[in-house]
Amino acid sequence: MNFNSKNPFLSNKRFSSNAVSKASEQVHEAQIIDYNQEMSISGTINKTAILFLLLCAGAMLTWWMAFNGMNAMLPTIGGAIVAFILVLISAFKPQASPYLAPGYALFEGLFIGGISAIFETRFPGIVINAVGATLVTFLVCLGLYKFKIVKVTEQFKSVVIAATLAIATYYLISWLVSMFTSFTPVHHGNSMMSIGISVFVIIVAALNLFLDFDQIEKGVQQRMPKFMEWYGAMGLMITLVWLYIEFLRLLSKISSKD
């Protein structure tokens, strides 16, 4: 059985010769892909860095608005909605990623900046800690993958995917139930159970990074078209944003117990 990353961008369904060939035909018109037109590790890293800078630029805007007495809720909510729409479009049209990925990063940054400002207001210093924890986790996972200390086997994929699906299902059901009832989800509050759930979610998010690295590497090996660098970078950013938000939630729970 072939298990894939549940990141909508970094799945074998997208990173396969058959799936990308149709989009590639539209871009290259049946031309033979030369070296400069192929996906590469360095190219994907560069695109990821560009998206990260754009995300930071968007985050700084809503952050500045929030701490200068302006209403940052509109760009925060609007950024989340637009970013989600761009994600959906890119999931079905990966060849458009060079145009959609920068927009996603900017609008996602608006959302991240607004959310970060809210947490920082309640728990001063929490944002820098969450950023540091996210970057350290990313670098550790990258090192473990690069030096083959952690190998992405089919069994590894199956466990991570099952855990990711379980988390997504739990969050969705909890959100729907809490909207129509007075039910308070277990992961809310600062109980030990809630903190334990946050730790588990962070671990699963970090493990998804290994799947992302593996799928990007396979895309390079399969000589995917150049636009897949933007596609892969965008998918990696989605995982990092998820990881950062979960660190914010965990640190806020721990801080509220003090």
pLDDT band at 11 (very low <50, low <70, confident <90, very high): low
Closest CA to 7 of 175, 252, 190, 231: 231
Query: Which residues in 188-212 are b (16+ Cβ under 10 Å) and which e?
Result: eeeeeebbebbeebbebbbbbbbbb
**Whole-angstrom Cα distance, residue 79 to residue 116?**
14
pLDDT at residue 20 is higher than 80: no
Would you say 38 and 29 are in contact if contact means Cβ atoms under 8 Å apart? no
List residues bridging with 246 in a β-sheet. Answer: none
Burial group, residue 68, by CB count within 10 angstroms (0-12, 13-18, 19+)? exposed
Reported as a single tens digit per residue, the pLDDT across 170-219 is 998 998 888 888 777 888 888 999 999 999 999 999 999 999 999 999 99
Token pair, residue 126, equals 């929490």
Residue tagged 């968007």 (tokens): 58
Q: In the prediction, which pLDDT does 28 show?
A: 47
Residue 2 Cα distances to 149, 155, 183, angstroms: 22, 10, 38
The DSSP code for 166 is H
Q: Hey, CA dihedral for 131, 240, 164, 222, is it positive or negative?
A: negative
Reported as a single tens digit per residue, the pLDDT across 51-85 is 999 999 999 999 999 999 999 999 999 999 999 99
pLDDT band at 38 (very low <50, low <70, confident <90, very high): very high
pTM: 0.85
**Whole-angstrom Cα distance, residue 92 to residue 9?**
9
Query: Which residues in 122-133 are b (16+ Cβ under 10 Å) and which e?
Result: ebeebbeebeeb
